[in-house]
């Protein structure tokens, strides 16, 4: 039995539905379609699935999914908390389960009707007393408001500007313009559009915010040994980590010594400690982008630059194809689809298979991150 | 708090604080016009949000220490629609984070207003500035007393 997760498992199948503002199917149906597509991609019969992992703010559960797709007896299932912070942890949990013999074929998935479904922040009945009592009455209602607060402080402390945030939005949009399945495929962005767009929570404008999407994705994880017999080149799970920093408060991380170093820093320390390579060896990254300021913060947290240098890192086309670190090559949550970051996982797999619509030549290593600003997770993939 | 949060929703529709067991004393002191923060009785450290146990010395004994009510703006946002209707009606308004003079690592969310009962958009946005000195006042909202912040006269 493996004492480490390093390269012990691989992602061997990926699947997705269409992405749109509105899809007629239910979340459950979308989930089943994405999962079956991922299993077909892997060449594995659904009856062999014995592990599931998902993350919260997901309506479909493993009971419904397992019986619909005709899974076998399931011996491992987990659901990770904190919405988008849990995306990569699904892969980490399944890798751990498969590597330790708890299961043999794991499926992680995300199905979401965000475009046509309700927005979580509109729910006043479920006003969580902690920490909502300290923020919501004052009109800090939406994730954009909560992150906007950290973004303003970040801009103030480090001289970051809206142009830096635009660099992020632009890189994602450029990649989406190359990806026919992206929601923003035929919708180019210009600096003028960005600078004159309406504010959502000043300093964040419309284009600093992710899309609202209906859609589903899934991936399949098996042991490295079995992966060699699957249809596609295995994409190994090299390292996986979760991060809940000491004295962290979630999205409203306002009550500790250093609100601008978030869960990414914690996850990153563990991720790199287990890895055979470092940030300088990452060919391409898929960085959770519910909001543009999460990119400079994550670039710092995951060690691509020093503290306070994340905004400057985005200059000179660094995030574009051919730049220092191409990111979100399918368009990300800002421009491909916002499905709580699962599209970033599948895009990472596409890059290492060499089949991305914005392929980084000879990419062999990819960092994928989950939502920064909440208890998070990340994985390193290698081919 | 004795009133049910939904029943106590004020006429203007702003959300009321829904205190939990740990947070209730904050709002009870606020009702007396006092800004107090939980402190460990044993090691003396302040902590926010309130919680059952001191993260430094693990003591379960705590008291509520009165703050001067002065602080500085650490950051702010100006939310624009789409918002809940009562907030949309005042948008764009400001939400500020105030680092307390007595405990800079504690940053209370609130609103900068021209007087305790003034609307959330009453301050000229040009006057919003990180580092600006502010002090607390309290306003009545649906039977509760909630903090608001005024700029110090410079
Ligand atoms: Zn103590």
Q: Which residue has the tokens 């051919």?
A: A322
Please judge whether B80 and A198 are an interchain contact, meaning their C-beta atoms are less than 8 angstroms apart.
yes
Q: Is the peptide bond before A377 cis (omega within 30 degrees of 0)?
A: no
Mean pLDDT, contiguous 10-residue spans, chain A (383 residues) = 85 98 95 98 98 91 96 97 95 98 98 79 63 94 96 98 98 98 98 98 98 97 96 97 96 95 97 98 98 98 98 98 98 97 98 98 98 96 97
Q: Give the B window 98-137 contacts with A, CB below 8 Å.
A: 105-111, 120, 130
Q: Cis peptide leading into A203, omega within 30 of 0?
A: yes
Query: Of A55, A82, A302, A338, which one is the catalytic site residue?
Result: A338
Residue-wise pLDDT tens digits, B30-46: 999 999 999 999 999 99
Whether B149 contacts chain A with CB within 8 A: no
From chain B, pick out residues whose CB is under 8 angstroms from the CB of A257: 105
Structure tokens at B127: 């006057």
pLDDT number for residue A58? 80
Q: Predicted confidence band at B154 (pLDDT cuts at 50, 70, 90)?
A: low
CA A165 – CA A209 distance, rounded (Å): 11
Smallest Cα distance from B6 to chain A, Å = 8
**Pairwise CB contact (< 8 Å): A153 & B92:** no
Instruction: State whether residue A284 is helix, strand or coil.
Output: strand
- Mean pLDDT of all residues in B81-94: 96
According to the model, what pLDDT value does residue B94 have?
98
pLDDT at B8 over 50: no
Contacts of B120 in chain A (CB under 8 A): 138-139
Give pLDDT, residue A126. 54
Chain A positions in Cβ-Cβ contact with residue B18 (cut-off 8 Å): 127-129, 132-133
Contact A22, A358 (CB under 8 A): no
Predicted model pTM? 0.95
**Cβ separation A152–B130 shorter than 8 A:** yes
Fold of A9-117+211-382: Peroxisomal Thiolase; Chain A, domain 1 (3.40.47)
Question: CA A318, CA A296: separation in Å to the nearest integer?
Answer: 12
Catalytic: A82?
no
Domain boundaries of chain A, sorted by first residue:
9-117+211-382
Domain boundaries, given as residue ranges, for chain B: 19-66, 68-154
Per-residue three-class SS string for A42-88: HCCCHHHCCEEEEECCCCCCHHHHHHHHCCCCCCEEEEECCHHHHHH
pLDDT given for residue B7 in this prediction: 36
Q: Does B14 touch chain A (CB under 8 A)?
A: yes
What pLDDT does A128 receive?
Answer: 56
Query: pLDDT band at residue B1, thresholds of 50, 70 and 90?
Result: very low
Q: Which of A122, A128, A201 sits opposite B78 (nearest CB)?
A: A201
pLDDT score at A197: 98
Query: Each residue of B98-147: pLDDT tens digit?
Result: 999 999 999 999 999 999 999 999 999 999 999 999 999 999 999 999 99
Cα(A296) to ligand 1 centroid in Å equals 35
């Amino acid at each position: 039995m493996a004492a480490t997760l390093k390269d012990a498992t691989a992602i061997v199948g990926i699947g997705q539905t269409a992405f749109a503002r509105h899809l007629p199917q239910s979340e459950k149906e979308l989930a089943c379609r994405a999962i079956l597509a991922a299993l077909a991609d892997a060449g594995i019969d659904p009856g062999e699935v014995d592990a599931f992992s998902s993350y919260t703010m997901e309506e479909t559960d493993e009971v419904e999914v397992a019986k619909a797709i005709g899974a076998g007896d399931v011996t491992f299932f987990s659901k990770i908390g904190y919405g988008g912070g849990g995306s990569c942890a699904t892969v980490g949990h399944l890798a751990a389960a498969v590597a330790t013999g708890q299961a043999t074929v794991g499926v992680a998935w995300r199905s979401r009707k965000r475009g046509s479904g309700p927005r979580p922040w509109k729910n006043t009945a479920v006003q969580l007393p902690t920490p909502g009592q300290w923020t919501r009455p004052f009109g800090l209602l939406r994730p954009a408001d909560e992150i906007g607060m950290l973004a303003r402080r970040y801009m103030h402390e480090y001289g970051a500007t809206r142009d830096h945030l635009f660099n992020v939005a632009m890189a994602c949009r450029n990649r989406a313009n190359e990806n026919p399945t992206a929601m923003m495929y035929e919708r180019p962005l210009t600096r003028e559009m960005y600078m004159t767009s309406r504010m959502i929570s000043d300093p964040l404008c419309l284009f600093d915010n992710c899309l609202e999407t209906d859609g589903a994705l899934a991936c399949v994880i098996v042991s490295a040994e079995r992966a060699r017999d699957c249809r596609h080149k295995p994409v190994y799970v090299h390292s996986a980590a979760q991060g809940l920093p000491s004295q962290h408060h979630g999205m409203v991380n306002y009550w500790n010594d250093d609100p601008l170093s978030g869960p990414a820093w914690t996850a990153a320390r563990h991720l790199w400690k287990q890895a055979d390579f470092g940030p300088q060896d990452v060919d391409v990254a898929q960085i959770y982008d519910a909001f543009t300021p999460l990119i400079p913060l994550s670039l710092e947290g995951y060690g691509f630059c020093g503290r306070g240098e994340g905004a400057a890192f985005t200059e000179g086309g660094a995030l574009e194809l051919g730049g220092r670190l191409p990111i979100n090559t399918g368009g990300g949550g800002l421009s491909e689809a916002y499905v709580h970051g699962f599209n970033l996982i599948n895009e990472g797999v596409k890059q290492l298979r060499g089949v991305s619509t914005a392929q980084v030549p000879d990419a062999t290593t990819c960092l994928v991150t989950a939502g920064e600003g909440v208890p998070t997770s990340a994985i390193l993939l290698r081919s | 708090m004795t009133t049910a949060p939904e029943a106590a929703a004020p006429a203007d529709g702003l959300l009321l604080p829904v205190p939990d067991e740990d947070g209730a004393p904050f709002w009870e002191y606020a009702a007396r016009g006092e800004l107090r923060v939980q402190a460990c009785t044993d090691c003396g450290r302040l902590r926010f949000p309130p919680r059952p146990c001191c993260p430094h010395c693990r003591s379960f004994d705590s008291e509520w220490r009165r703050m001067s009510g002065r602080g500085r703006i650490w950051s702010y946002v100006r939310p624009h629609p789409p918002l809940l209707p009562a907030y949309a009606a005042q948008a764009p308004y400001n939400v500020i984070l105030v680092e307390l003079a007595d405990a800079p690592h504690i940053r209370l969310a609130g609103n900068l207003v021209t007087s305790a009962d003034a609307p959330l958009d009453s301050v000229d946005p040009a006057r919003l500035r990180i580092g600006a000195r502010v002090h607390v006042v309290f306003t009545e909202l649906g039977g509760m007393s909630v903090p608001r912040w005024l700029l110090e006269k410079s």
